[in-house]
Structure 1
Amino acid sequence: MSARRTKFYLDCENAKWKGVCSGMADYTGVDVLWVRLGVAAMTILAGQWWIVLAYFIIAWVAEATPSGLYQDAGDAKFWQGVRSNPKRSSSEVRSRLRDVDRRLADIETLYTSRNSQLASEIDSLR
């Protein structure tokens, strides 16, 4: 079974300690520096000491990121968008597919039309 791309994973590759903050940054798409600063500020300045306990529990319960989860950075950004707003990302995919379909229709029209200039260029390539 392949790994789910919409699940929270510990990001041990970019981790400073256990990978919880870098995992939250990967899951939400926020820069890891801001997540770490937010956790530190809430723990120290706001006196929310339960965050330390939550950090240890998450580090103990969550799984590490499977290798090969994303093919490239664009794939990671796409899945971050899916996690943040699935309805918006599905409309983006629909929009991209409409654009590809329109471009393919333009190519098909150009290829099947009686364009003598195009025919002569194709023949010159042979």
Structure 2
Amino acid sequence: MPPRRTRFYLDKTNAKFLGVCAGISDYTGIDVLFVRVAFALLAIFATGGIGFLAYFLVAWLADTKPRAFDYEDREDRKFWQKVRARPGASVRDVRSKFRDIDRRLADVELHVTSQNRRLADEIDALR
């Protein structure tokens, strides 16, 4: 079974220790520095040390990010982060983009197939 892009993975390539904060950053799209600072503050002050236990538990249970995902471009990464955050909105965005492309293609087709004499003359001049 191929790896799913909607799962949480440890990001070992951008890791400082075990890759949990880098994985959270990759999963949510939040800058890794903010995730690390927030984790450190929460682990020290809010959870009374249980945060560190949770960190090691996540590092032990989560899978490492597949190498196939290391080579995707920034736009793909942002797209999949949006899908993970709001799947319904992502589907609406894709449908909206396809509708826009379809409308623009119909406009081009109408323009090309119309009885525009000037356009026909320009096309004949190119031959």
Scaled by the length of structure 1, what TM-score is found?
A: 0.91
Residue of structure 2 equivalent to 1:99: 100
Q: Distance in 1 between matches of 2:37 and 2:65?
A: 22
The runs of at least 4 aligned residues of structure 1 exceeding 4 Å deviation read none
**Letter aligned with residue 27 of structure 2:** Y
Residue of structure 2 equivalent to 1:67: 67
Residue of structure 1 equivalent to 2:31: 31
Residue of structure 2 equivalent to 1:117: 118
State which drifts further: 30-39 or 40-49.
40-49
Deviation, structure 1 residue 122: 2.2
The alignment-based identity, stated in percent, is 54
Q: Distance in 1 between matches of 2:126 and 2:20?
A: 57
Q: Distance in 2 between matches of 1:63 and 1:121?
A: 59
Q: Distance in 2 between matches of 1:11 and 1:122?
A: 54
Aligned pairs, number: 126
Q: Distance in 2 between matches of 1:4 and 1:71?
A: 14
**Letter aligned with residue 61 of structure 1:** L
User: Residues 10, 105 of structure 1: CA spacing in aligned structure 2 closer, same or farther, 3 A cutoff?
Assistant: same
Give ranges in structure 1 of 5+ residues lacking alignment: none
Q: Distance in 2 between matches of 1:7 and 1:64?
A: 11
Q: Distance in 2 between matches of 1:3 and 1:122?
A: 49
Cα distance per residue 1:1-56 (max 9 Å; x no partner): 32211000111111111110010011111111111011000112224311111111
**Letter aligned with residue 74 of structure 1:** E
Residue of structure 2 equivalent to 1:84: 85
Superposition CA RMSD, Å: 1.4
Judge conservation of contact 2:44–2:51 (CA < 8 Å) in 1.
no
User: Residues 117, 71 of structure 1: CA spacing in aligned structure 2 closer, same or farther, 3 A cutoff?
Assistant: farther
Q: Distance in 2 between matches of 1:67 and 1:113?
A: 51
**Letter aligned with residue 122 of structure 2:** E
State which drifts further: 95-104 or 58-67.
58-67
3-state secondary structure, aligned to 2:10:
coil
